[in-house]
Amino acid sequence: MTALRSVSLGLLAIAAGLVAWATWIEPRRLVVRRRTLRLARWPAALDGLTVALVSDLHAGSPQVDEAFVEQVRRRRPELVLLLGDFVDPHGTLARPVAPEAVAQRLGALGGVAVLGNHDWLTDGPRVARALRDAGITVLEDEAVALPVRGTTLWIAGLADATERSPDVGQALSGVPEGEPLLVLSHDPDLFPRIPARAALTVSGHTHGGQVNVPGLRARVIPSRHGDRYARGHVVEGGRHLYVTSGVGTSTHPVRFARPPEVVMLTLRSSSS
């Protein structure tokens, strides 16, 4: 009986440790993930462009703080892309945070943004207005031409696939053929609809599964494709997608074997 009790206490201690790790420690262990992507449709003039991806803050959840802003600023990316779900007062233990307060912090980064499903569930027009007032370009089924390194880089942003009705054709209609193009889509499920002329599509939304347990991960990822677009660099038919696991947590403030992250991409021409 003594041995059995010792085993039970040991298992209880392990379980308690895992719970503490997943609910308190790992959600606060922000990782800066660096990746270099070689893209077939990337011009030599923009070879080596550095791009920061910031997604899924879910401001209001208990573990999110402002550390990611300084982490991005310290690395001085040439372009910052903000991929949605900036606010979320609906999760477990979440508290309401004013979109204006979140936008003020993000304004230190600038960049181009799309909204996510939780932004629309909260107050999409207010979130978009707050971001624009902070100096951030917000796109919804439209594109903007940015002057970068003496050339033009096109950025297209898609409407959220869950709460809106994204129109890829409309978003790209003003982009000249042959021009360098990045596409922002909060939800990576839109990737199969992106034409090959886009050099790269970037997304968030999945949180990388958030709880990275094989078998469970695919069931909790909010995607009809399971874990096909869970995270990281995906290449299909010569088209490129990068999905970040994001900064915050969705629904429940838990992460396991999938720490929060900001991603620093270096985009290189495949001919360089």
Residue 176, pLDDT score: 97
Q: Coil, strand or helix: which one is 209?
A: helix
pLDDT at 5 over 70: no
For the segment 45-60, the average pLDDT, to the nearest whole number, is 97
Per-residue confidence band for 6, with pLDDT thresholds at 50, 70 and 90: low
Q: What CATH number was assigned to the domain covering residues 2-269?
A: 3.60.21.10
Least confident of 16-30, 64-78, 89-103, 243-257: 16-30
Residue 45, pLDDT score: 96
Per-residue confidence band for 97, with pLDDT thresholds at 50, 70 and 90: very high
Which helix or strand (DSSP H or E) is residue 75 part of?
helix 67-75
Residue 221, pLDDT score: 85
For the segment 170-176, the average pLDDT, to the nearest whole number, is 98
Quote the crossing angle between the two packed helices 99-106 and 117-133, to the nearest 10°.
60
This prediction has a pTM of 0.93
Q: How far apart are CA 257 and CA 201, in angstroms?
A: 25
Instruction: Please tell me what DSSP assigns to residue 257.
Output: S
Least confident of 14-18, 106-110, 127-131: 14-18
| Cα separation values, 233 from 63, 84, 155, Å | 26, 19, 19
pLDDT at 126 over 70: yes
**Per-residue tokens: 62:** 């208990």
Least confident of 154-168, 186-200, 219-233: 219-233
| Cα separation values, 13 from 2, 8, 211, Å | 16, 9, 20
pLDDT at 1 over 60: no
Sign for the pseudo-dihedral over CA of 92, 98, 99, 104: negative
- Residue with more model confidence, 261 or 218: 261
For the segment 56-67, the average pLDDT, to the nearest whole number, is 87
Per-residue confidence band for 22, with pLDDT thresholds at 50, 70 and 90: low
Cβ proximity of 199 and 237 under 8 Å: no
Residue 13, pLDDT score: 65
Report the chain's mean pLDDT, rounded to a whole number: 91
